[in-house]
Structure 1
Amino acid sequence: MLGNVLNIKPIIALKEGEVVPIERARTRGKAYARVAQILQSLGPIEYLAIAQSSQETGEQLAEALRTVYSEEIAIWKLGAVLGTHTGPGTAAISVVTAR
């Protein structure tokens, strides 16, 4: 509840099968900008996809990611199970790097 009041957006990752908190941003725009920075630091990218809970959410994230990635970004609808557990406004990225 406090996170909603403060408009905090968590940035999380899956590492070795576990959900790991990366950091928290105060707004959706700042969270997307930070995700773009993290994406840029990963090195050469072979594939990038977005899973979205709504078209608006996915488009906003894609716009932020296009500042650091100029290739095509696949956009998919978030599945029912993940959508139920994460709630509205959820967006995720999947990245395959060249490393």
Structure 2
Amino acid sequence: MKTFNEARYCSRFMRPYLEFERVKVDIMIFDDRLEPLHNIVYTIAEHGYGDQCLSIYEMAPELCAYNGNGKLTPAYLERLIVTAEKERA
């Protein structure tokens, strides 16, 4: 969110040369041996009118139905990581 807000702020002063509308987020999660466990990719963008957005889920709707299994929450992410670790063992 900080990167998105900074990009929007930068856009105000760099028009017409640069204008940022969205930020693509790509998060790689590794185990203690630096083997990849899970990859999360989503885009943060404004949806609707106004600059007041209280939730990452409003800014990145794909996180509301992550992999078709519901909202990507810390608890759900932990289950994904534990499952990936078990599959490796």
Band of TM-score, shorter chain: under 0.3
**Between structures 1 and 2, the one with greater strand share:** 1
So what's the TM-score if we normalise by structure 1? 0.25
**Between structures 1 and 2, the one with greater helix share:** 2
So what's the TM-score if we normalise by structure 2? 0.26
